[in-house]
Every structure is written in C-alpha cells, then in structure tokens.
Structure 1
Amino acid sequence: MNIQDELEIIIGALKSFPKGASLEELIEKLPIPIEKRTLQRRLKKLKENGLILIEGGSHATRYFANVMDKYSSKTEKPSESQTAIPLSQEGRDILAIVSRPEIQRTPVGYNRTFLENYRPNIDSYLSKEEKKKLAQWGKTQEDDQPAGTYAREILNRLLIDLSWNSSRLEGNTYSLLDTELLIHEGQAANNKSAKETQMILNHKEAIEFLVESSNEVDFNRYTILNLHAVLSNNLLTNPAASGRLRGFGVGILHSVFTPLGIPQLIEEFFGLILEKARQIENPFEQAFFVLVHLPYLQPFDDVNKRTSRLAANLPFNRYNLSPLSFIDVSEESYVKGMLGIYELNRIELFKDVFLWAYERSALRYAAIRQSLGEPDGFRMKYREEMRSAVSHIVSNVMGKKEASSKVKEEARKLPEEDQAKFIEVVETELLGLHEGNFVRYRIKPSDFDAWQRRWNTRQT
C-alpha cells in the first residue's frame, strides 16, 4: 500500500468523528495497522495540504476531517464578507473551527492563564512588522500636538462613522444617512426602534467624552466604568448596572464559551486587564490587547464589545494617531474573530480583522483630513477657554444679554489682539448650539433644555 492510499484511509476514518478524534481513537478506527510515529507524520502532511484540521495541543490534540467537508452545507460555509478580509493561514484554520455547528465545538470556560501569562512589553500579540505597518498607516501630522488634536479635527466625521459602525456590529439597522441625521440634526429615523436610536446617541456621547477628555482618560476604572455607563444608558434591563461590574453569570449567544461567573474574580481580572493595558507602551498593541481581553472577561451585564471598541481608541487619541472606526468590517467577520478568542484563546483571526480594519480607517481619515484643509488655529489655541465660557453660560441658564456680558468678561482675560475674535467665535458657537452638539461642551441634557427655553424666550 502506498502513502497516498494510507492518506485517503486516514481521511475516511476521520470523517466518522464529527467532533474530532484523538490519536488513540484514530488508531483504533483505522482498518489497517499504522505505527504511531508514522501516523503522526501522515497527519502532519495532511495538515500541511489543508486536508485536515488539528485543534489543541500536547495530550489534548484532536484531528478533524478536511476543511471542505465542514463547509459542505450552505449554513456552515463562510460568507463572502468573511473571506473578503485577507486571512493568514492561522486565521483560516480558526475560521474553519468556529464555523462548525455548536454541537461540534467543545464547551469551554474562562481561562485565567490567557490573561495572567501575558507580560506587557515582553509578550506581544502584534509582531514588529505589524506594528511598523500600523504606525505607518496611523501617523498624522499632529503627533507633536496636544492629545486629542487630530480626533477633534475630524470629530464630525468620526462621530458618524464610529457610532454607525460600532452599532452596526451589534445588529443596529440604522443606515449611515439615518445616523448622520440623528447626530447632526437630532432627527430620529421613523422606522427604527427606540433602542436603536438610543444606541446611536449613546455612541455619540461616549465618543465626545473620550475626545474632549483626551488628557484625563486612561485605562483606569473611572474611564472604563463611565464609558460603559454612557454606552449602556437606557439600554439595560437593570438601569443600576450601567457602569457597574457584573454580579452574576452570563452566556454568549451562538458560542460554547461560558464567561467567568464569580463577582470577586470578575473584579480581580478587570483590575488586572487595566493594569496590564496601562503598562503596554506600544499604542497599537495596547488597543488590540483591550479589544481581546475586555470582551473575553465580559465584565459588564452587556455592552462589553462596544465598550472595548471605543476604549481601543484611547491610545490613538492620546498620540494623535488615526482612529479605528471599523469601516467595512462585517458583523460576521467580527463575531467569528471573537469566537476564536472566546473558545480557543487564539487571536490570529481577530488580528487579521483588526489589521485590515485599521488600514481602511486610516486611509479614510487621511482623505477626509486632506479635504478639510488646515484647522482653525485660533479655535485650537483657545479651545479650553471657549468650552469653559459656553459651558458656564448654558449651565447657569443665561439669556442673551447675560451671555454677551459673560463672553466679554472672559475675552478681557486674553491678549488685547485676540479679544474681538474670541467674542465673535464664542457667540457663533452659542448661536449654533443644538441638541445634536451640546455634549462636546460637557453640558447636561437637563441644563441644555433649560438654557434653550430661556435663550429662545423674547427678552426685554
């Protein structure tokens, strides 16, 4: 019997094990005698040729029939959107495993060592070459400017893109135009649910929180808990759960992964994620680490992936790198990448998605930034003074006369040559303030409503 005949017999035997076979189980099933070492060599050859899959390691290794068999039915075949992203060989292997029906995947729980064994700045999910590529894609002309400068320049576009794409990855059916009308005009789509509208508005507020607080936010409890609170506002069954760590067990839809369910351990590992994230020096590794480990822990009742997607932009804002808004990433591609992390603790498929998504985002914002021309230097110079003046006027429910006096009072604190321009710019901002943009001045909705009623009342 030649080698080719043996390979065909091995594949035939594996087909009788839909959940995979151990080496010992395969030896017993084979109709011909093959020595263990010889069988291992044959299996290695089949793996190299893409005819079988190998899962696990050491004594837990299991072997599966060829990839094409797994995609024989329409429901199991990867969609065109999944395969549109160039995948590494490791990514294709993971995709094949997580595309099997749930009954053929091994149930797993939270693996503590996945996080514990990661050593910041020693271990790295991204290679040196990948970090170099990401740095080239993400570099802007604002790298020597204060944190958040670049994000502020493209904020109008970023609000729409990131709000829409992150919501879309959660199944939100708002269109891009619907999202733009909601964010910039305050006009909700008539044919969408209140939950979908709320999700978009929460993203907008959360992005503004991160961008306007670029010097204050970090991978700490204050930032991540409050980010979750904003993103989950009015969306959780228990309103008190917004910004609080989970106190009970949860499951993951369409996954055989069961997250950690002990509150004390959730608290411990949440702190460990933040501690390790803060230590990571490379902004791209930092972002990817958070995208992996926050959803894997599932520290909140819900809205975990959304929190991780916005938190991943923290280092990009800090270093004025191009943001990541997941442009053109399909929900299916994102979910399959996460399943590889949940069920296999393997990051390669999700990394393929991340690299592709970041390049797409960077190219988009480079084009947008070029079309915008140079930012208004005066507004950049006095952005804090402008924000303080507008916030004070609204929070104190000032009418037009009081506001005019306050703006002039603040202007007198500036160099004489800038005073008239400052008054003009702040008054223009006040006249253009509406329900779709007031949050960037850190104004509460209740304060804005009260101020708007006063502002629009005829005053004598």
Structure 2
Amino acid sequence: MVNWPYMSNKSKKMAVFATLQQQGSEISLSEILQLLGAGYSERSVRRWLAEMVSMGLVIAKGKKRSTCYQAITAISEKQISFNDKKALNYINQPLFERSPVTYNAKWLDTYLPNKTAYLTKELKLQLHHAGDQNKNRLPAGTYARQIYNRLLIDLSYNSSRLEGNTYSLLDTERLILEGAEVPGKLDEEKIMILNHKEAIAYLVNNAQKIQSNFNTICTLHYLLADGLVPTQYAGKVRDYGMRISGSTYIPWENPEKLNKQLEKISQKAALIKDPFEQSFFLLVHISYLQAFSDVNKRTSRLSANIPLIKNNMVPLSFNDISKSDYQSAMIAIYELNDVHMLVELYAHSYQRTCQLYAVTLEVINYDEVRVRYRQIRRKIISYIITHELFHEKLEQYIHNQVKKFIDPEDQPAFVQDVKEDLHEINPERIAGLGITVSQLKEWLNKYKK
C-alpha cells in the first residue's frame, strides 16, 4: 500500500472538532489555531467550522473576527453519583479498617457463560441499541476502521489518563498522528501512549480473526508493556508477589496458578455470546487476577474491546470516567467482588462514546471539496494508474491538473483527497475509475519497488 507522509484533511478536521469538545466554554478562531499548533491554515479551519455549524454540531456566537465557537457535545470527566452506596461506603473507609483479602477463585468458578450475567437484559438492550453498527452485516472491524484515528487517539488518551498520564487529548493526538513529543514530559508517558497505539492497531487489523483467548491477551499485554516492564515480563505471567496500592487485596503469587486461571478466564469469555457481557467479563476478570507484573488494567481495557470490534459495535474508549471513580470501582471488585460500580461506569461511558463517535462520523463524512470535484478526482486517479505514473511524474501530473481545474482555495484539500484515495485504493474501490483489477495490481507492485 502507498504510504503518504501527511496528516489527512479528515484527521485535521477531527482534531478541530476534538479541540472544541475539550473546551468547557466557547472559544475564538485564534484560540483554536493556537491550540492546534502548526500545520493548520486559518482558511481551512474557518471553512471546517462553518461546515460544523451548518450541520448543527457547533454553535457560533458573534460576528466576523469576534465569532466564538462551542461544540454541542463537549467531553467531561464528571464524577458519577453511584447507586451502589453500600460498596462505596465500604471502600471509603480507611485502609486499616478494611479486611485483607486474597484472590477468590470461586467467584470465577460460579460464573456460567450465557447463564450468569453481570449486565442486566435491559442494559444490554440499551447498549446494543446505542452501539450496533453492523446493521448491514459488514466484515468484522469495518466500523472501527471508519473511526480509526479517533479511536487511536481517544482510547490511548483515556486509558493512559486513568493510569495518571499527564498528556492532554491534543498532546496525544499530535504524538500519535505526527510523532510530536511534548517537552518536559516523561519518556514513560510517551511510551505508554505509543504502546496503546500499537495495541489498538493490532486489534483493528486482526478484527476478522482475533479471538478472546490466552494468546491474544498476552499479545495485548506485550504490546502495551513493551519498554515499561522488564523484557522477561512483557506478555508473560509474573513469577513474584505484588500488592495493589490503596487496597487490602493481595493477588496470587504462584505463576502456575496464574497461568491456569488466565487460561480459564479466556476460555469462559470465548463462550459468552453477548458482546457486551463478554467485554465486561474480560474487563473485570483480567484486572482482578493481576496476572502480569504491571499494565493489567490497561490490558483489560483493550481486551474488553475485542468482542465489540469483532461485532462492529462502537468500541469503548472510556470517555467521561474520572480516575477516582474508576479506582473506586476497581477496589470494589478487588475487595468485595462487587461489579455494580463498574457496571455504572461502563454503561455511562459507552453510551457517551456512542454519541461522540456518531458526531465524529458526521464531521469526517462531510467533505464539500470531495463531492464537488468527484469526477475530476476520479479521472486523475484513473490516469495515474493506467499510465503508470510514480514519484516525481505522479506529483507533477497532480500539480498540473489541479492548476487547470481546481479553484485556488480548494487546491490543498483536493490534493489531500487524491492522495488519500491513492493511499487507500484496493480492488474493492475501483468502481467508476475505468480500470481493471490487474491494472491496479500492476501499478501497486511497481510502485512498491
């Protein structure tokens, strides 16, 4: 596949919208540009904002240079008022007043796939209604690919944030899409985010064949832990004891028992038919077992997305969850085997994520330049492939055609659209181009050389 070194217009447009979502109040164009940093033209950002306003996704107040903008769906990290007061009251006691506990193997043993359920039928129906993107029975992972950049950024950011990472959402976006580091930040924070990027890419790229099994869980741990734990413990069960900060829970120490229990967790998970129940089961039990030397909760959060991505559900990005709420919910699991608090967080965050991604798709699917110049763009791509243009000749041909047929203010966006299409082209995407599959394959093979 052709590898063009640029940040696409769709990615930039999403970055503009994400920047607005992060703000608690209205913000001016100059402030937006300052937050975005280099690489964003004022004209393009102004045009994208106008599109978002016309779509009802953004509110504009004021006129001309005094105009300020605010996203309809802002991101927040409000604390939840948990319904499960009994568990909350218990874990809010001082540590010395709570009894020490160890791993309870019977809790897993009593869980019977498709008979026992942590999520109620009513809640599962709500989650299916909000998250089912597979109404047309598309191949596994199709929806995740549609929102791929947003998923990379949101899940990497939120999962890292819950571990105390101080990168902002915009910092995370720049690191993932542009490789831009933040001065003064710890290397460990950068590695944590980039490891998430690798693990999410693994999930999406293998969506059609990936399974909720022991090997997948260990692979996710390896990708997430690489460079953050000693090499011998990345992707492998630990062989020493550990303690949980802020909890009286004492996990198992025996590596043989940990291996067998992780295998049992993955086997039970694979039998669960409902994708949300399976997702929640993995989130709970991988965290609870603490089979690895570190990075257990991160592994559980990525594993929880396996059944969602496979079934073309909206992935879970852990939006709108505060770190303190998440810690409280996990302590309730460690010390009480009580999932109610985590169920509340899971449901709240998932439904919120569905709303945010529905808006994201609206933002990236509205491309006025792409629609206006569709025929010209297709003719250019067809000519490039049938006349076997590469490198300098390819660039020169695009440049000449753009100068002839495209309005000056639309030229940068049009060039980006052409290069995106060349980057993504495959036999399934040549309808209307007037080329054959063999012509495409020949062009791709020669370009790679």
TM-score of Structure 1 vs Structure 2, range by shorter chain: 0.5 to 0.7
Distance in 2 (alpha carbons) for counterparts of 1:83 and 1:233 = 32
Q: Secondary structure at the match of 1:200?
A: helix
Are positions 1:417 and 2:435 aligned together? yes
Aligned counterpart in structure 2 of residue 358 of structure 1, from 338, 350, 355: 350
Shift of 1:261: 1.1
Change (3 A) 1:270 1:177: same
Larger RCO: 1 or 2 (CA < 8 Å, sep 6+) = 2
Task: Tell me what 1:199 maps to.
Answer: 192
TM-superposition CA deviations, 1:373-424 (whole Å, max 9, x none): 2899xxxxxxxxxxxxxxxxxxxxxx969x9xxx9xx98xx99734599479
Task: Tell me if 1:125 matches 2:118.
Answer: yes
**How far is 1:371 from its partner?**
2.4
- Are residues 205 and 306 of structure 1, via their aligned partners in 2, closer, same or farther at CA, if it must alter by over 3 Å? same
> Which string of whole-angstrom CA distances, capped at 9 and with x for unpartnered residues, describes residues 66-116 of structure 1?
xxxxxxxxxxxxxxx99832422xx22211111111011111011110111
Are residues 319 and 161 of structure 1, via their aligned partners in 2, closer, same or farther at CA, if it must alter by over 3 Å?
same
Count of residues in correspondence between the two structures: 318
In structure 1, the residue corresponding to 2:435 is in which secondary structure? Answer: helix
Q: Quote the Cα distance in structure 2 between the aligned partners of 1:232 and 1:373.
A: 35
Alignment of 1:295 onto 2:277: no
Structure 2 residue identity aligned to 1:343: E
**For 1:164 and 1:147, how far apart are their aligned partners in 2?**
24
Matched, 1:279 2:271: yes
Query: Structure 2 stretches of 5 or more lacking a match?
Result: 1-75, 371-389, 395-422
Gaps of 5+ in 1: 1-80, 377-398, 431-450, 456-460
Question: Who is 2:329 aligned against?
Answer: 337
The 5-angstrom pairing of residues 107-256 of structure 1 reads 107-140=100-133, 144-236=137-229, 238-256=230-248
Residue equivalent to 1:47: none
SS in 2 for 1:160: helix
Matched to 2:80, the amino acid is I
TM-score by length of 2: 0.66
The Cα shift of 1:143 comes to: 5.0
Cα distance in 2, alignment partners of residues 201 and 82 from structure 1: 23
1:266–1:332 Cα change, 3 Å: same
Partner of 1:85: 80
Cα pair 1:252 1:258 within 8 Å, conserved: yes
8 Å Cα contact 1:82-1:332 kept in structure 2: no
Q: Write the distance in 1 (CA, Å) between the matches of 2:440 and 2:247.
A: 56
Relative to structure 1, is the Cα distance of residues 164 and 256 closer, same or farther in structure 2, using a 3 angstrom cutoff? same
Paired amino acid for 2:346: F
Amino acid at match of 2:254: I
**Given residue 264 of structure 1, which amino acid in structure 2 is its aligned partner?**
E
Note if contact 1:102-1:256 (Cα within 8 Å) is conserved in structure 2.
yes
1:337-357 deviation digits (Å, cap 9, x = unpaired): 000000001111111111111
Q: What's the C-alpha RMSD, in Å, of the aligned pairs? A: 3.0
Match of 2:254 in 1: 262
CA contact (8 A) 2:160 2:192 kept: yes
Name the CA shift for 1:105/1:369 in 2 (closer, same or farther; >3 Å): same
Indicate the residue corresponding to 1:321 in structure 2: 313
Contact 2:222 2:235 in 1 (8 A): yes
In the alignment, structure 1 residue 349 sits paired with structure 2 residue 341: yes
Distance across 1 between alignment mates of 2:294 and 2:78: 29
AA aligned to 1:146 is P
| 2:286 is the alignment partner of 1:309 | no
Which residue identity lines up with residue 327 of structure 2 in the other structure? V
Partner of 2:68: none
Distance between the aligned counterparts of 1:357 and 1:425, measured in 2? 45
**Aligned partners of 1:92 and 1:349 also within 8 Å:** no
Structure 1 residues 231 and 425: alpha-carbon distance in aligned structure 2, compared to 1, 3 A threshold: farther
